[in-house]
Amino acid sequence: KTSSLPWTTFPIPSYDVFITTPRVPNVVDGYKRLTMHVDFYTISRTARLELVSFKMTRSSKKGPYVDPRVLKKLEGKNPATAGVIKTWSRACQIAPEMVGFTFGVHNGKDHIEVFVTEDMVGHRLGEFSLTRKFTRHGGKMQKDLEQKQKETEIAAAKAVKGATEAKK
């Protein structure tokens, strides 16, 4: 498509915007996809910035990377009865078909359960299964807080023990 102005022949960038609406049921895959064709110069400046300023992690021609083994495990399953679907593919992008499923994403040691919601679409599975374990920051304040917490636990245990002995 070229510009409508007579003195210019440069192509106008245009984008296909895919809007997924999960609340509208569809027989094929549960989601109705609405497709809009947007001309770059006819939309507002803020909408233009939203279209252009995102970080391209993969070519739009290639599309998102979704592991075929994960899609094969999803075929014909209901999210309510599927249970945890184990996967080692941390680089797999979350597709709209995965919403509602629970995945066991491997973090290097064991599988961390990740329940997929609509907000997670487009992110990678590995982002929600951390590989490093945070222990704690040190310092005197932290030690004091832990000491108080330990004392309250001991006091609660003694109170329960005293109540059970009083009943006997």
Higher pLDDT, 42 or 22: 42
C-alpha 152 chain-centroid distance:
37
d(CA 94, CA 103): 11
pLDDT in tens, 109-161: 999 999 999 888 888 999 999 998 877 777 788 888 889 999 999 999 999 88
Residue with tokens 């973090």: 107
Whether the per-residue pLDDT at 167 is higher than 50: the answer is: yes
Mode of pairing for the β-strands spanning 32-39 and 84-87: unpaired
d(CA 157, CA 111): 33
Mean pLDDT over residues 29-58, rounded?
Answer: 52
Confidence of residue 164 (pLDDT cuts 50, 70, 90): confident
Compute how many other C-beta atoms are within 10 angstroms of the C-beta atom of residue 19.
9
What's residue 125's pLDDT? 92
Whether the per-residue pLDDT at 17 is higher than 50: the answer is: no
The dihedrals phi and psi of 119, each to the nearest 5 degrees, come to: -70, -20
What's residue 143's pLDDT? 85
What's residue 54's pLDDT? 45
Say what the pTM is. Answer: 0.50
What's residue 80's pLDDT? 87
pLDDT in tens, 68-78: 899 899 888 88
pLDDT exceeding 70 applies to what percent of the chain?
64
Higher pLDDT, 42 or 141: 141
Is residue 130 within 8 Å of residue 109, measured between CB atoms?
no
What's residue 152's pLDDT? 94
Query: Whole-number mean pLDDT of the chain?
Result: 75
